[in-house]
A and B are shown apart, each in its own frame.
Chain A
């Protein structure tokens, strides 16, 4: 094992069955120098306090389950090294989401916004399997690949100042996802999708704070997707392909 020291982890606790408001609880625990923040939470859960609730699964920064606020910043806790912090670490549920329990937040709203951008290939005529795989050049792939890397960890929603204030806002990850399909050479659905992008809460609700891209653990750069999305949907709109809903 690697070197063991002690740290204090201050965790936000909230059980709607018992608590009116969230409270904090401190745990002083032995930690190894190679641990991530998630390892500390799992240690607490297994060895100190089995009543703590948090989500995790892959512990390799790809399933997107373990997003939390660590010392006030949204972090993927299985990727975030404990050694980045001093002797006391505060762990809270992701900001801008309703809390279900302890460190577990509610995702319903997020999942709905996701579906709204129609994140699937839309074609005038569906391809048959017999037609074989579509050709797509490495460049065409590169045009959207980056936007397809989102693991839905929702750190960007926690960091976004607009998400906090505007309940209609699609938010960075959903916009990036819609943009991903718009940029895919196999897709023909951008007109349909841009209707959603131009609605209230669409791309123009973004104030371009760029916070989303700064916290993204996968370098998806949703802020750039929003900016490109603005330009492209306007172009469509100018070409008369799209009318913002309600403006007929």
Chain B
């Protein structure tokens, strides 16, 4: 078995992972960093982000305002010391990206342009037309290529954390091209593996967003935090779930029902004058209510409403939203210049994730997490659009630096014992390959898992349906053991990868459902028909979900308040 040694191992080549790797080198140019990714870094799903990245840039804006907007958006579940640090670092990180070549859109005077976004009181979202994630990812990746001490391991699928004496010592990775398992040792590991939207049937997320890092940490004993908070984005294309960015509304787009009415203005959804610039959780609920009130539009994939951009004019759409034009034309055959776009709420983002502190450190010594995989607790119960890309940079950088500092004082571990863990893992994967006995297919179990999540953990939830999801998932985990696999080849065996991903998703989905079923209030994205209000008395705390072979175990953790007092969330 091949054994490779580095100081720090970063798992993930999206915005958070690449930023962590670069920060490690900035912290100590002699450190050696492995960047391991199951796809080539530029394929990471950061690439799909469209709308922008938030950081205070204008004269009329302040860090205080960005902080308050974020706390209020989080329905007061975000940790306030984390948010204060975030808003302070945000402008620096986006400036760095500017220096590294990110093609930010510009004002006439050459300064960086900003646009309006949901839940933000002023224009503070930096953008590069409507391909922000794409440009940020490519700028980061290309910038990283100049550092020879960042060694890439592309198309290597991490299946397990290496442990010794209760500390992390690296990872086990399956090289997809060769089909061989190798050990990538490191005295600190940063997980930057992204989210888990693929636990649901209808999502803006790509095929690779399967919650792998969450499952890795969870099984190694780190709790998953606030998993019940799943963000539904209001505007996904029916059928595919492809995102139409919130920047469409930031640039002045309107949501309309079957009667052609701007329902966010006409009816009281608690959004006040914000209307289309309200936060995502509230607008998603408003759309569902419009549909239930009989004001939806019937289509081949169910009811939807309209996103109308026709009044913005072709010139503006071409300049600011060219990708939206391409997506609508290609995937629903609609030309936004002259026609409204059909949209409906779609699973988009996991507020929850691996429990970390402000350094990105978990309770497992040597293990860090940043980006969507982590819950450093800045998004609380509802993330504001355009905070996430910036979060990847701010906390990717901080965990990269902290991982280097930790690695300095940590031992590399005993090779023989680490090898033994690798052998065990190789054996587990080998038994999966071409595992001919069994009655369940990967696609079948995946489909049922996704359906259970949609039924139980949708925009609106109630005890009965969440409990049904919990038992369906427990049962599906049993059936997972009975999977049949047909591909016996070692070379680029995507069937094994799909099976491993499904195993990860089942654990993550169960954590979501169990966390949701126990929170008896409505807060942010967790909206219950049977407990319709927020209850700070009993529920102003984080949920922790611990892995236990007997089934997930729930615990709680206090929220850090201090700067902003919880108040009713009204716009």
Chain A residues with CB under 8 Å of chain B are 1-2, 15-18, 34, 45-47, 49-51, 53-65, 79, 100-102, 104, 106-107, 111, 114-115, 118-121, 126-127, 129, 132-138, 140-141, 144-145, 148-149, 151-152, 177, 181, 184, 186-187
- A60 and B327 contact, CB distance less than 8 A: yes
Given contacts A50-B495, A51-B487, A51-B495, contact A138 B103 (CB under 8 A): no
| Residues of chain A within 8 A of B323, CB atoms compared | 62
- B487 and A50 contact, CB distance less than 8 A: yes
From 295 to 330 in chain B, residues with beta carbon under 8 angstroms from any chain A beta carbon are 300-301, 323, 326-327, 330
B112, B142, B331, B490 — which one has the most chain A CB atoms within 10 A of its CB? B142
Given contacts A57-B208, A100-B177, contact A47 B487 (CB under 8 A): no
- B138 and A148 contact, CB distance less than 8 A: yes
- B105 and A121 contact, CB distance less than 8 A: no
- Closest residue of chain B to A47 (Cβ to Cβ) is B443
| Residues of chain B within 8 A of A54, CB atoms compared | 494
Q: How far is the CB of A228 from chain B (nearest CB, A)?
A: 18
- A65 and B495 contact, CB distance less than 8 A: no
| Residues of chain B within 8 A of A63, CB atoms compared | 39, 42-45, 47-48, 206
Beyond known contacts A50-B485, A58-B207, A133-B99: 17 more, CB 8 A cutoff: A1-B301, A2-B300, A46-B441, A51-B487, A53-B494, A54-B494, A57-B208, A58-B45, A60-B243, A61-B327, A61-B330, A63-B47, A100-B177, A102-B492, A134-B99, A137-B110, A148-B103
From 132 to 184 in chain B, residues with beta carbon under 8 angstroms from any chain A beta carbon are 134-135, 138, 142-143, 145-146, 154, 177
In the bound complex, CA of A15 to CA of B434 (Å): 14
Q: Is B493 an interface residue (CB 8 A)?
A: yes
In the bound complex, CA of A63 to CA of B442 (Å): 24
Q: How far is the CB of A169 from chain B (nearest CB, A)?
A: 20
In the bound complex, CA of A58 to CA of B44 (Å): 9
In the bound complex, CA of A2 to CA of B135 (Å): 34
Interface string of B489-506 (1 = CB under 8 A from A): 111111100100000000
Stretch at the interface among B90-98, B250-258, B360-368, B533-541: B90-98
- B40 and A101 contact, CB distance less than 8 A: no
- A58 and B47 contact, CB distance less than 8 A: yes
From 99 to 150 in chain B, residues with beta carbon under 8 angstroms from any chain A beta carbon are 99-101, 103-112, 131, 134-135, 138, 142-143, 145-146
Interface size on B, residues (CB 8 A): 65
Q: How far is the CB of A179 from chain B (nearest CB, A)?
A: 13
Q: How far is the CB of A42 from chain B (nearest CB, A)?
A: 9
Candidates B105, B138, B331, B491; contact of A100 at CB < 8 Å: B491
| Residues of chain B within 8 A of A2, CB atoms compared | 300
List 5 interface pairs A-B (beta carbons < 8 Å), by A numbering: A50-B441, A50-B495, A62-B134, A121-B143, A151-B47
Q: How far is the CB of A30 from chain B (nearest CB, A)?
A: 15
- B103 and A115 contact, CB distance less than 8 A: no
Q: How far is the CB of B343 from chain A (nearest CB, A)?
A: 15
- B489 and A141 contact, CB distance less than 8 A: no
Q: Is B240 an interface residue (CB 8 A)?
A: yes
In the bound complex, CA of A98 to CA of B167 (Å): 41
B45, B100, B242, B331 — which one has the most chain A CB atoms within 10 A of its CB? B331
